Amino acid sequence: MTLLLTPGDVAHIVRTQGIAGALRQLVRYVKRDFRRWGAFDKSARLAAHSPTGVIELMPISDGAQYSFKYVNGHPGNTQLGLPTVMAFGVLADVATGAPELLSELTLTTALRTAATSALAAQQLARPGSRTMALIGNGAQAEFQALAFHHLLGIDEIRLFDIDDEATAKLLRNLRHVSGLKLRPCDSTAHAVRAADIVTTVTADKTRAAILTGDMIEPGMHINAVGGDCPGKTELHPDVLRMARVVVEYEPQTRIEGDIQQMPADFAVTELWQVLDGRAPGRRHPHEVTVFDSVGFALEDFSALRWLRESALALGLGGRADLVPTPEDPKDLFAMLQAPTAHRAAPTQAPATLQSA
């Protein structure tokens, strides 16, 4: 049977570990997997685009375990009462193909994205950074804010969103976080002025220039999260030209990231190279750095392993009969015959769920 984790189970894991503890654990899992980069069979995600959004599959394997994530991105969904991003994922045993875990990944994607952003910033931001501008205050903003607060020591975050209600939501959710000052701003330029780190996490599927070259100051680190599919950008090309750019998986980021605007020979460094010591992190205090983050399947692989091990330790999750188990594995048709003493009758639910 397959372990099944719902959004409630994931929320329970985070509440038990604490948001800071959960983010730290995710950073450890993600960092460990990036540092064994060569063990993974990697590919860019498979995307199906439509006028309203995109649906993607993100597979990866290290030879022992295989995972994939189903994820969408539909910026107009909030008008329908749905999240912009919805996701679930599977972790399977390569030796048999048996699915070991089926889990929600909507909450988890926000957590792993924030953890990966913080992991990159630990290598690329100036030591002692304390101020961050957060441009885009939607569903992922609180996760980014908390990751940078807890994992990098950011104590002041300057907020801007074209939707005042989004900023009000973030202020409401994080108003009790100890040691964190939240300062709403009236423009992107106001928010980024003198910031050590700038995080852009906007949702519109358009070629935007949220940050322009005149806003960038020496020593800034830019955590560009929102440009994550063809035709969707956040940084003006001038920002990329003046910066050292780090990406997750270059073949995918060339298609989906902000560097889709740049020529094919525009130089980038992959994050695993920095984490493994094959390339430097920040080289000097005045260097401008960009993490062009589009999200990569390895991060979901790491997150699914974290979820499975956390759930088993806490006794969380249900059990789902996703795969038929006939008495004779060569006789699948027998499952369709009338129940006998040796063949159980079906339950009324489409899947048999039991508490773990």
So which residues are the catalytic ones?
A: 228
Token digits of residue 43:
């590919």
Phi-psi sector, 18: left (phi>0), alpha (psi -120 to 50), beta = left
SS3 38: helix
As given in the structure block, the two tokens for residue 187 are: 């423009």
Q: HSE, CB side, 13 Å, CA atoms: give it for residue 317.
A: 23
Question: Is the CB of residue 292 less than 8 Å from the CB of residue 258?
Answer: yes
Decide: 224 and 234 in contact? Cβ < 8 Å.
yes
The answer to whether 286 and 218 are in contact (CB under 8 A) is: yes
Beta bridge partners of 171: none
Query: In degrees rounded to 5, what are phi and psi of residue 16?
Result: -70, -45
Number of C-beta neighbours around residue 72 at 10 A = 19
Please give the sequence-ordered ranges of beta strands (E in DSSP) within the chain, or none if there are none. 2-5, 46-50, 53-61, 65-73, 87-93, 99-104, 131-135, 156-160, 181-184, 197-200, 207-211, 221-224, 233-235, 244-247, 269-270, 289-292, 318-320, 353-355
Taken as a whole, the chain contains a residue count of: 356
Longest dimension (CA), the chain: 77
Whole-Å CA distances, 23 to 209, 238, 355: 30, 33, 27
Q: Which strands, in side-by-side order, build the sheet including 221-224?
A: 181-184, 156-160, 131-135, 197-200, 221-224, 289-292, 244-247, 269-270
